[in-house]
Amino acid sequence: MQGNHKSTEFSDIDLSHWKDYDDVILDSLWLLGPRDKTGPHVGDYWGNFIPQIPRQVLIRFTKRGDVVVDLFSGMGTTLIECKRLGRSGLGVEIDPVVAERSLERINSAGNPYDVSVAVLVGDSTLAATAKRVNATLKEWGTEIADCVILHPPYHDIIKFSECDGDLSSVSSEVAFLDKIGLVAQHAYEMLKPAGFMALVIGDEYVNSRLVPLGFMCMQRCINAGFVLKAINVKEILNNERGKGKNNNLWRYRALVGGFYLFKHEYVMIFRKPAARVKPRPKGAVP
């Protein structure tokens, strides 16, 4: 039976039994239901990542034994899923208090595959932090990550901390997007060729105008060199704190203001080219 196993270079999914993977989402509309609260997963943190998202990304785009880097690791949701699925996970969190709390939660999860897991306290926009990530990867016996996950603040929708460099405190959209661009560049450099990156992001509504933050961040990732593979729309369900909860007051405001309540966010999938694409010669036909 082992000889019949057929898989891609980036996933353990057995393609010879592809019909058996009913739990793997292949559509661009993600209806995940309530957040998974099993084990150490607890939805007690503003903007908390729901575990089903990193789980889907890890199953689709990594293999057992791979190394995953989460540059906005928060309460460690991605790293808990890494331990459950047999991937080593390295997180970066800017708030030292949150980083310490996340490690307690991560360490309480089982480690059946004996993988490496760590959280660095740092600002993912800084080159110095990227160097620390690279140094840790070398300690783990690898030069590069197999997959990178980004779940940044959605600009200033939720203020996470008073830490210098916290993206939820950036004063303007332009400054926020510039910093996202820096994170995308670091992610590109630390990711292996042909590796995948996931960006989880939503939009915001400011001064009576819709700000397509998701697509703006998407463009910064493309500018960094990534190839866009998918724009998945995820329904927000019971995970709406700070994102425009659909109660009577907000319904009334929507009717008065002529806008719609956010009930979605994006899970965008990118891939790093196998070889760096050379810039198109000036004057060349697109």
Question: Do 154 and 213 touch, CB atoms closer than 8 A?
Answer: yes
Average of per-residue pLDDT values in the chain:
88
Question: What is the homologous superfamily of the domain 50-271 according to CATH?
Answer: Vaccinia Virus protein VP39 (3.40.50.150)
Q: Quickly count helices (H) and strands (E) in the chain.
A: 7, 10
Measured at the alpha carbon of residue 172, what is the angle toward residues 169 and 174, in degrees to the nearest 5?
125
- pLDDT of res. 44: 56
Average pLDDT over residues 118-124: 98
- pLDDT of res. 166: 83
- pLDDT of res. 208: 84
pLDDT tens-digit map of 72-82:
999 999 999 99
- pLDDT of res. 276: 64
pLDDT tops 60 at residue 2: no
Question: Do 151 and 52 touch, CB atoms closer than 8 A?
Answer: no
Q: Please state, as a whole number, how many other Cβ atoms lie within 10 Å of the Cβ of residue 180.
A: 28
Question: Do 270 and 276 touch, CB atoms closer than 8 A?
Answer: no
> Is 0.75 topped by the overall pTM?
yes
* Band of residue 33 on the pLDDT scale cut at 50, 70, 90: confident
pLDDT tops 80 at residue 269: yes
CA 7 – CA 14 distance, rounded (Å): 5
Tokens of 104: 């307690």
User: Among all chains, which residue has been given the structure tokens 């965008």?
Assistant: 268
Amino acid at 104: E
- pLDDT of res. 246: 46
pLDDT tens-digit map of 199-258:
999 998 888 889 999 999 999 999 999 999 999 999 986 544 444 444 678 788 889 989
Nearest alpha carbon to residue 49 among 14, 22, 76: 76
Nearest alpha carbon to residue 186 among 73, 103, 272, 265: 272
